[in-house]
Structure 1
C-alpha cells in the first residue's frame, strides 16, 4: 500500500541517509517503526502484521456457520432428486433438473439476503448484534429441517413443505451472518500505514497492512473450508443412518457459533453505526446519475449552497466503492461454474462406480485442497511472485476465472468418457429396467481434478473478491459493500436456474462445454475491462488513511506517528 507523497527534498534526504547507513555498515535499528520512502516501498520485502486473538474468535463463528451450511447442503441434491426407493435414496423425487433448479434457488436466496443483512448492520444494529440475532434464526431453520426429515413423522408432502420453509429461514439467516462476519474479522485489524520493521536477522522489511488484510481473508477462507469438511460426516450419516442424522449434527454444532459470540462480546472491535449511511450513499449516487454520472456534482466544495450532509472525502469513498462494484459484474458467470460442484457434480458421481463411497462426499476434495493450498499460496506462491512483479487483485481474479474454465473443460471431457462407458452409455442408469441401479463402468475418483481446479480458482477469485470488497468499501459501509459482492452469487444462481433444463443426460457434455466457454470469455472480458485498476489500487487503498472518520474507534484510526507505530507493533 502506498503512503502520501513526500516532498522531493525530504525523499532525497531519506535516500541520502539510507546510502550513508549502507556505506557505514549500519544495521538500521533506528529505522524500526518509521514510514518508508517510495524507493523502500518498491524494493523492500513486504510482510504481514500479527493477527490479533479476537480475529480467531470471529473465525470460529464463521467455521461453525460454514460447518452447518455445507453439512446441510451436501445431502440436499440426493434429498431433492431421488425418492426413497432410488439409488442413492432420497425423499422429494424432483429428478436431476428439478433438484438442480431448487439447489440454485437456495444458493440465490442465501446470497441475495446479504443485502438485507448488510443494510441492517450498517444502519441499525451493527455487525455484532446482527450476526448474533441471525445465528438464532439459523438454528430455528435447521431445527425445522431436522424435524421434517424424521422418518417416523415425515412424508413426501411434509418433507417438501418443511424443506421449503427451512431453506427460506436458513437462507435469510445466512445472509445476515455472511454479510457481516468477514467485515467484522477484518475490523479487528488496527488501521496502520506501512512502516519499516527490522527483523532479528537484521533484514529491513515493510510491515504492510495490505498484506495483513490479504492474510486475514486467506485465514478467514481457511476457516470456511475447515468448516466445510463437515460434508464428510453428514454424507456418511446420510448414507448409513438417514437424512435426519445428517441434519441433527449441524444443528448441534451451530451452538459453538453462539458461544464464540458471547465469549468475545467484550473483546471485539465494533464500528459504531453511522446514521442513515446507506440512505446518504444512495442519495449521493442518485445525484451523480442525474448529472451524467459525475460524482464531482455531489461534493460540498463544488456546491456549498446545497448543504450536503457529507464531506468531499465521503464522495471519494463512494467513488472507490463503485470501482469495486464494477469489478463484480463478471462474477455471476464464475458462480454458475462454482455451483456445479454442489449439484451436477453430485448427480454425475451417482452415475459412476462409487466403490462404497457416498456420491456427494467428493465435495470434501474441494475443501481439503483449499486447506492445503492456502498456506502454500500465502507462504510460497504469493511471496515468490511478488519478488518479480506485483500480483494485484485484478490479476488474481483473472487467473481464478481461468482455473474455473479448466474445471469445466475437465468435467466435459470426463462426461464424454462416462457416456462412452457401458452399460448405459449416454443414458446412465436409465437405459433399461435391468440397469436401473447400475452405474457406468468408470471410477468416481476421476472427478478429483475437477474439484481441485475449482478449489484453486476459489483461492484466486473468491478470496480476492472478499478482500477487494472490504478494502474498497467506506469504513462505515463495509457490510453493505460486502453484501453486494455476495449478491453476485445470487445472480449466478439465477443464471443456473435459467439453464437448468440442460442439466440432464445426454446433454451434460455440452452443458459443461458451454460453461467452460462462458467462463473463459468472462475472464478475458474481465481482464480487458479492469486491468488498468491494478495501476490505481494503491491510490484507492490510500483513501482509508486520508483524513479521520468521526465514526472510527480510536484503535482503528490510521496510525501515522512514530510513537503510535511502536505502540501498535509492541
Structure 2
C-alpha cells in the first residue's frame, strides 16, 4: 500500500515531462498487467515448490506498484479534462426544458463517480476470496488479471478520443530550478520572477515567464492543505490493521475478521450517490454552496468521531469477561476464547469511516484538481495521493499504544490528531478555488 501511494509522483513526472497523461496511463497499465501476470505464474502450485516463487512475488508487487503510480496520478486529471464546457452553459433538452450545465458541478460528479467505481472494484474482491478458498491463489489472481486485460484493450482502442494536455519537457526542471532559487533567497518566490531578478542574477534570463511563477505559487499554496491529510489517513489506516485484530478479540458469530472491512465499500456505494444526487443539491437549493473545505472538514470530524467510537467499544472489550483488558492472552484460557462482546459493535465504526471518506477523500481529489495549474495537474494529484503513504508512516507513531491494555488510548490519540487537523484546516493560508 505504501509503495502504491509513493509511485504516483514518478507517474506524474513522466506524464508532465515526457509522455502526457494518456500514454503514461497506457504504459503504466502495461506494467501493471505484467505484474499481474507474474503474480499468477508465481502462485501456480508447480512454481510455489521452486525457489523462484518468492522472487516472482516480489517482482510482481514492484511492477504493480509502479503501474499503480502511473495510473493513479493521471486517471483523475484525465477524467476531469474531458469536461470541456467553459463555466456555465445553457442547454435546451429534447423535452423542452432549459437547463444550466455547470462545469464545476460536472467535475464534482465525475470525481464522485470515479470514486464510486473504485469502491465497486474493492467490493468485487470478495469474489476472489471465495475463489481462492475453492480453487487456489492462481485462479483468484487470474480473474482480476483477465478483467484488467479487457479494460486495457478498451483503453487502447479509444486512446485517441481523449482530451489531454500535452507534456511540457521543461516543466519539472523549471519547477526544481525555481524552488532552488526560492530556498536560496529564504523562501521568497518573487525572486524567481524574470521582471524581479535579484541583483546578482540581473544579467541571467530565467527560462520561464511570470505566469509560470504564478502557477507555481498557486500549486505551492494549494499543497499546504495536503500537510493535514496524513493525520486523516493515519486514522483511516486502522480500518485494515487494528480494526481487524480488534475483531479477533470479540465474538464474531462465524464472520471472518477480514470480511467486516467490506462494510466500507458497501457504505460508500450507498452513501455517495445519496450525497451527490440528493443531499448536496438540497443544500445548494437552500442557498448554501457545497465547497471543498466544508466537506474536507466534515470528513475529518466524522473520522475523529469514528476513532472515539472505536475507543468506546475497545473499552467495552476491556471490561468484558473472560479475559477483560488482556483479550486472547495466552495466560487466559490459553488465548482460545474471545471476550463476550459482539463484533457487530464494529459496524458503526466502519460506516463512520466510510462516510468520512465520501467527504474528505472525494473533496480532496476535487481540491487537488481545481487548485492545480493546468501544466501541473498530475504532479499536484500525485502529491495529494502521496499523503496516504505519509499517513501510513505517521500511524507507526502510535505503535507503542497498540498493545493491551493501551489500545483505547491509541484510538483517542488518533481522534484528537484528526480532529485537530480538521480544525487547523481553516487556518491554512491558501488561495482557494472552490466549487459549489
**TM-score of the superposition, structure 1-length normalised?**
0.69
Paired with 1:277 and 1:137, the residues of 2 have a C-alpha distance of: 25
Residue 421 of structure 2 corresponds to 522
Residue 496 of structure 1 deviates from its aligned partner by 2.2
Paired with 2:413 and 2:241, the residues of 1 have a C-alpha distance of: 17
Paired with 2:156 and 2:209, the residues of 1 have a C-alpha distance of: 37
Residue 225 of structure 1 corresponds to 119
Paired with 1:429 and 1:507, the residues of 2 have a C-alpha distance of: 15
Structure 1 residue ranges without an equivalent (≥5):
1-106, 542-570
Task: Give per-residue Cα distances to partners, 1:509-549, cap 9 Å, x unaligned.
Answer: 1211211111111111222335x75xx426xx9xxxxxxxx
Paired with 1:485 and 1:114, the residues of 2 have a C-alpha distance of: 9
Which residue of 351, 355, 380 maps to 2:253?
355
Residue 344 of structure 1 corresponds to 242
Paired with 1:246 and 1:424, the residues of 2 have a C-alpha distance of: 38
Residue 147 of structure 2 corresponds to 253
Q: CA 1:181/1:110 → structure 2, altered by over 3 Å: closer, same or farther?
A: same
Residue 157 of structure 1 deviates from its aligned partner by 9.2
1:282 aligns with 2:176: yes
Which residue of 363, 380, 402 maps to 1:464?
363
Task: Give per-residue Cα distances to partners, 1:337-362, cap 9 Å, x unaligned.
Answer: 11111222122223323333321112
Task: Give per-residue Cα distances to partners, 1:69-98, cap 9 Å, x unaligned.
Answer: xxxxxxxxxxxxxxxxxxxxxxxxxxxxxx
1:453 aligns with 2:348: no
Paired with 2:327 and 2:131, the residues of 1 have a C-alpha distance of: 26
Residue 365 of structure 1 corresponds to 263
Residue 113 of structure 1 corresponds to 7
Paired with 2:2 and 2:342, the residues of 1 have a C-alpha distance of: 32
Residue 207 of structure 1 deviates from its aligned partner by 2.9
Paired with 2:302 and 2:52, the residues of 1 have a C-alpha distance of: 41
Give yes or no for contact 1:229–1:368 (8 Å, CA) kept in 2.
yes
Secondary structure in 1 matching 2:366: helix
Give yes or no for contact 1:231–1:361 (8 Å, CA) kept in 2.
no
Q: CA 1:159/1:342 → structure 2, altered by over 3 Å: closer, same or farther?
A: farther
Residue 175 of structure 1 deviates from its aligned partner by 1.2
Secondary structure in 1 matching 2:159: coil
Residue 266 of structure 1 deviates from its aligned partner by 2.4
Paired with 2:33 and 2:320, the residues of 1 have a C-alpha distance of: 44
Which residue of 322, 326, 338 maps to 2:224?
326
Which residue of 156, 167, 183 maps to 1:262?
156
Counterparts of 1:138-537 in structure 2, within 5 Å, are 138-149=32-43, 154=48, 163-197=57-91, 206-238=100-132, 242-303=136-197, 306-386=204-284, 387-432=286-331, 435-530=334-429, 533=431, 536-537=432-433
Paired with 2:44 and 2:400, the residues of 1 have a C-alpha distance of: 31
Paired with 1:301 and 1:137, the residues of 2 have a C-alpha distance of: 44
Q: CA 1:372/1:438 → structure 2, altered by over 3 Å: closer, same or farther?
A: same
Task: Give per-residue Cα distances to partners, 1:228-260, cap 9 Å, x unaligned.
Answer: 112322333455555554434323332233122
Residue 397 of structure 1 deviates from its aligned partner by 0.9
Give yes or no for contact 1:409–1:513 (8 Å, CA) kept in 2.
yes
Counterparts of 1:84-95 in structure 2, within 5 Å, are none
210-219 vs 227-236, which moves further: 227-236
Residue 457 of structure 1 deviates from its aligned partner by 1.0
Residue 201 of structure 1 deviates from its aligned partner by 8.8
Residue 483 of structure 1 deviates from its aligned partner by 0.6
255-264 vs 121-130, which moves further: 255-264
Give yes or no for contact 1:231–1:363 (8 Å, CA) kept in 2.
no
Give yes or no for contact 1:366–1:455 (8 Å, CA) kept in 2.
yes
Paired with 1:135 and 1:385, the residues of 2 have a C-alpha distance of: 39
Which residue of 21, 25, 28 maps to 1:134?
28
| Aligned residue pair count | 430
Q: CA 1:144/1:507 → structure 2, altered by over 3 Å: closer, same or farther?
A: farther
Residue 421 of structure 1 deviates from its aligned partner by 2.9
Task: Give per-residue Cα distances to partners, 1:47-83, cap 9 Å, x unaligned.
Answer: xxxxxxxxxxxxxxxxxxxxxxxxxxxxxxxxxxxxx
Give yes or no for contact 1:123–1:278 (8 Å, CA) kept in 2.
yes
**What CA RMSD, in Å, does the superposition of the two structures yield over aligned residues?**
2.8
Q: CA 1:426/1:142 → structure 2, altered by over 3 Å: closer, same or farther?
A: farther
